[in-house]
Structure 1
Amino acid sequence: MIVELSHRITDGMVTYPGIPGPVIGTHLSREASREIYEPGTQFHIGMITLAANTGTYLDTPHHRYADGQDLSQVPLSKLADLPGLVVRAEGVRQVVLDEGLDVRGRAVLIQTGWDRHFGTDKYQHQHPYLAPESATWLAEQGAALVGIDSLNIDDTPSRGPRPAHSVLLQAGIPLVEHLTGLAALPDEGFRFHAAPPMVAGMGTFPVRAYAVLPQRPR
């Protein structure tokens, strides 16, 4: 069973305040392509202009640190087929993790339920975030990846610090923000995938995040 964990990207959508929405258009229309190909053959080639922080996206170390690994340098072993763990934290603004959890080598996904507000003004304000001390603990314990279903893994006053980004990305732990659908996952026993294109020199990009659950016996 495969569970979708990404928001759909649509023309003009707002992901994060102040970041422009994507513009989706056409490079070659089906009508125009009829003049290029033989009768009965037509194609559509689309175009999209978007900020890298759009929809459900991955942060690599290069997002925070100039000498950190970018999208083309983070190995797939940190992005795909990871054993997953869901931390339930609905109704909590600052998420403090239970330090008894086994997080080493796992994708740790924080379910706050905030994804239900995605696309609304409420999503942008007073969102849940990871406690700085928990970010430090995840780095020390060797988590493979950390994700959250809210606006940001850090608290976001306009000019505030970003301790979770700083600590986790410095440790080489990728982040996935704006996840959705985590309520459909079990606490563990699934594999997580969130691989972006291999774009050199960029630190963030949208991903198609999803989880693979084991087949139930018939």
Structure 2
Amino acid sequence: MKIIDLTHTISADMPVYPGTERPKLKAANTYENDGFKETLLTMFSHTGTHMDPPAHLFAHRTTLDSFPVEHFVGQGLVIDCSDLTEGQQITFKYIENVRSKADKADFILFYTGWDKYWGTNKYFGKYPYITYDVADYLIKSNKKGVGLDVIGIDPISDVNLSIHKKLFAENDIVVIENLTNLEKIGQEPFTFCALPLKFENSDGAPIRAIAMLN
């Protein structure tokens, strides 16, 4: 079995969503003073590679900690959209091209290649994003989740977060943002595992996402 890490490392100088503070990693205890090392982490719940639940946008919808743990593991499929350029849409044709595999998957992960801009201003620019038709498919096919290697499932200009709201209004689906290394997986189904930090009334959380290839 081959394991591929799909997670960006959390660091004090990492990219964060515009307007959000970067995480702080403060030495709380040191080898010299205390005989052991411990770090005080201070960060927003949507830092780095992270997961959004419906409660991210709707007050009385499902929080991340209330999802059953099996929701975070399932069959994944990477769909290659790396031919897209700035501001172009991930349309339903990308799913149609692999429809038989997509229908069987629990998680659809869109590979745009945008993670190569991680740490640059372009990462926050006009990245590719999914259409309403794609969102409709994810809902009707009862997917556990959708993921991308960009900072958001909506375009950066959409302050209303329209795609998020469409997915979350009535469905228990999760959105995974800021993935990386999707190009290493290939085009065949695989086991996807994305475990969020579990805290009470969670509106979202950093995750450790991995692909397990047979």
Normalising to structure 2: TM-score of the pair? 0.90
Give the counterpart letter for 1:96 in structure 2. T
1:177-188 matches, within 5 Å, as 177-188=177-188
Tell me if structure 2 keeps the 8 A contact 1:28–1:46.
yes
Separation in 1, partners of 2:202, 2:106: 24
Paired AA for residue 134 in structure 2? S
Counterpart in the other structure of 1:60: 53
Task: Give 2:205's aligned residue.
Answer: 205
Q: Distance in 2 between matches of 1:158 and 1:108?
A: 22
Q: Larger Rg: 1 or 2?
A: 1
Percent identity among equivalent residues? Answer: 30
Q: 2: distance between equivalents of 1:135 and 1:56?
A: 21
Aligned Cα RMSD in Å?
A: 1.5
Q: Secondary structure at the match of 1:115?
A: helix
Structure 1 residues 23 and 154: alpha-carbon distance in aligned structure 2, compared to 1, 3 A threshold? same
Alignment of 1:37-186 (within 5 A): 42-80=35-73, 82-92=74-84, 93-97=88-92, 98-99=95-96, 100-101=99-100, 102-104=102-104, 106-157=106-157, 159=159, 161-170=160-169, 171-186=171-186
Whether the 8 Å CA contact 1:103–1:138 is kept in 2: the answer is no
CA contact (8 A) 1:88 1:111 kept: yes
Aligned residue type for 2:189: G
In structure 2, C-alpha distance between the alignment counterparts of 1:176 and 1:209, rounded to whole Å: 9
C-alpha separation between the residues in 1 aligned to 2:36 and 2:103? 46
User: What secondary structure, in the 3-state scheme, does the structure 2 residue paired with 1:195 have?
Assistant: strand
Structure 1 runs, 4 residues or longer, greater than 4 Å off: none
Question: Normalization by structure 1: what TM-score?
Answer: 0.88
Q: Deviations over 1:146-166 (max 9, x none)?
A: 00001211112163x323211
TM-fit CA distance, 1:77: 1.6
Q: Distance in 1 between matches of 2:158 and 2:77?
A: 31
SS for the counterpart of 1:103 is helix
